[in-house]
Structure 1
Amino acid sequence: MINIPVEHYLIVAAALFCIGLAIAITKQHLIGILLGIELMLNAVNINLIAFSRHDPEKIGGQLFALFVIVVAAAEITVALAIILRVYGHFRTVEPDKVSELKK
């Protein structure tokens, strides 16, 4: 088994988080923003699993990662439902063109 230092995991996770943050901030489309948020959640999962490898007796990091995956799936489900409703009302999914929330 190859022993990869934890620093390598942290570098990859930091890069993935920065890419996700840049996408979430710069995108003009709601689906793109959701993709950026998902990348940031995946970076958190990489950190949790990397730190969980230090103490194989405790599986807390792996359980937290599983919890993050479940929350991310629920978040995407609710967000896509909201995006579909916004598109049905405003005929656009660009956040800048949605000017009101009331009907």
Structure 2
Amino acid sequence: MWTIVMNELIDYLVVSIVMISVGIYGIIVKRNAIRMIFSIEIIANAVNLTLIAFSRYLSDVQGQVFTLFAIAIAAAEIAVGLGIIIIAYRLYREIDVAEYRSLKG
């Protein structure tokens, strides 16, 4: 019984590691602001998947409830991020983050 549950946990963790890797790749390689936000969202979903997997493995509902709050916060994060991208596009007519000159320190 525990072997089956442990194998399922490992499967979820492998998928989560792949998702985190894809998200990090998207942040590092892509300079498009929208793609970067999507990459951050992929990483957040990977963390949520890991949290739910461990919550299920430990038979604890708190992790699943926390994940629901994390999803709501991620939705607000996306809304704010897209708002910032829209304002930056109006200023620069570009969504490539390398072109945002006035944001440099």
Aligned partner of residue 94 in structure 2, secondary structure: coil
- How far apart are 1:28 and its partner, in Å? 1.4
Match for residue 6 of structure 1? 9
Q: How many residues align?
A: 99
Cα distance in structure 1, aligned partners of 2:58 and 2:9: 12
Counting aligned pairs with the same residue, the percent is 38
Aligned partner of residue 100 in structure 1, secondary structure: helix
Match for residue 39 of structure 1? 42
Q: Give runs of ≥4 in structure 1 deviating > 3 Å.
A: none
Aligned partner of residue 101 in structure 2, secondary structure: coil
Aligned partner of residue 102 in structure 2, secondary structure: coil
- How far apart are 1:55 and its partner, in Å? 2.8
- How far apart are 1:68 and its partner, in Å? 1.3
Cα distance in structure 1, aligned partners of 2:72 and 2:101: 32
TM-score by length of 2: 0.88
| Greater helix content | 2
Cα distance in structure 2, aligned partners of 1:12 and 1:55: 19
- Structure 2, unaligned runs of 5 or more: none
